[in-house]
Amino acid sequence: MFPQLTRATRALILVNILLFLLEQVAMRPILLHFALWPPGPDSLFRPWQLVTYAFLHEGILHIFFNMFALYMFGPALEQYWGARRFLVYYFVCAIAAGATQLAVEYFTGTGEPTIGASGGIFGILLAFAVLFPRARLLLLLPPIPMPAWLFVTLYGVLELFFGVTGTEASVAHFAHLGGMLGGALVLLYWRLRAGRGGGGGGWRPA
């Protein structure tokens, strides 16, 4: 029922936990330098924040659910791809999520900093649904089993609805969708590359 932790997944979880603990003793300077701030005049934005924001979390529930999802779905992808390709995929999803959130904030005129691994996690969910579409997932509330492809599709539609309607405005819904979009582009690129005989395609273990 519970997967065995693989090397890269374990490292990501440990780094997230360590930085979360560090946040508790030095939250202000960490958020000022490493949260994802929207660009603009006198902005705190720095390019590295497109990566570092994904290792910061707002509270215990925030990090718990993100790391639990990474623990549940990350090992299967890492075993399928190998650690290197898994990490490349994860970070591309996180960066795409951050870039999407910045774009949305620019066009809507908002300016809130963003933190959390959810963008990378949503990319992980998408890849799991693509590679293991018939895997059965059991929801907690309500406890309804469904195939992975349906679960992730419904989750994505729900995030789009929340983002467009402004429901739960404190949550970066478009960052979640950006992580899925980044993941979809990576999977498509790997598939096309494999089809052209580029070697190491996205659909075979690395």
Please give the CATH topology (third level) of the domain spanning 7-195: Rhomboid-like fold (1.20.1540)
Given this model, what pLDDT does residue 140 score? 66
Adjacent-strand bridge partners of 86: none
What residue has token string 């639990």?
A: 68
Per-residue pLDDT reduced to its tens digit, 30-41: 999 999 999 887
Check: CB of residue 179 under 8 Å from CB of residue 185: no
Given this model, what pLDDT does residue 41 score? 79
Whether residue 118 lies in the annotated active site: yes
Per-residue pLDDT reduced to its tens digit, 147-194: 999 999 998 998 888 888 877 777 888 999 999 999 999 999 999 988
Given this model, what pLDDT does residue 203 score? 39
User: Two tokens at 160?
Assistant: 């789009």
Whether residue 57 lies in the annotated active site: no
Distance between CA 177 and CA 166 in Å, rounded? Answer: 14
User: Residues 43, 62, 173, 176: which is the catalytic one?
Assistant: 176
Given this model, what pLDDT does residue 17 score? 97
Say what the pTM is: 0.90
Per-residue pLDDT reduced to its tens digit, 46-88: 999 999 999 999 999 999 999 999 999 999 999 999 999 999 9
Map residue 139 onto helix, strand or coil.
coil
User: Residues 43, 57, 62, 118: which is the catalytic one?
Assistant: 118
Q: Where are the domains positioned within the chain?
A: 7-195
